[in-house]
Amino acid sequence: MIVSLLILLVMTVLGVTAMQTNILEEKMSGNSQDVSLSIQAAEAALREAEDYIETIVSPAAAFDGSTDWLYEDDTNVDIKADATWATARPYQTGDITNVTTRPKYIIELYGEIGSASTDINISGYGESSGTANVSGFRVTARGTGGSNETVTILQSYYAKAF
């Protein structure tokens, strides 16, 4: 009888340990999915911001201080501050499923960084008008996953000839 009780105790401990391991693995899987969603959301917002830059006709007109999510040169934007993201532009293209908050982005103008004739046409590869000035931009996107605690911030640098 004592031997069977000891065997039952060992089986119970093994069962509880297996359940705890399973619960931990489920949490890790959920967190991994949450991180993946936040990265995908931030990447979508990043690409949309770069598409927006392509629609800009004149940096001086677009970055005149009248739009909250377009920052002029030397603004020193704090990308970790909640106030920055409160005024950022939300992702516009379509709905991203399973995220709690729509991803947002901001664009910072770095100003003129060269001319298309010397800086964009690298080693003769590609076409260039040779008369345009190149402006640089820093794009910052913020995405969340299935919870607002999972946040991904991505940045890219983008140049366009005007």
Q: Considering only CA atoms, which of 31, 58, 35 is closest in space to residue 162?
A: 58
Residue 94 confidence class, pLDDT cut points 50, 70, 90? confident
Taking CA 51 as the corner, what is the angle to CA 50 and CA 53, rounded to the nearest 5 degrees? 65
pTM over 0.85: no
Q: How many whole angstroms separate alpha carbon 78 and alpha carbon 74?
A: 12
pLDDT at position 68 is 85
Using the 8-state DSSP alphabet, how is residue 149 labeled?
Answer: T
Residue-wise pLDDT tens digits, 98-108: 888 899 999 99
Please report the pLDDT score of residue 50 as a whole number: 93
Segment 107-128 mean pLDDT: 65
Planar angle of CA 123, 127, 132, nearest 5 degrees:
100
CA-based nearest residue to 89, from 79, 100, 109, 103:
103
Joined together, the tokens standing for residue 48 give 């949309």
Token pair belonging to 128: 């260039």
Residue 153, pLDDT score: 95
Q: Chain-centre distance of CA 131, in angstroms?
A: 34
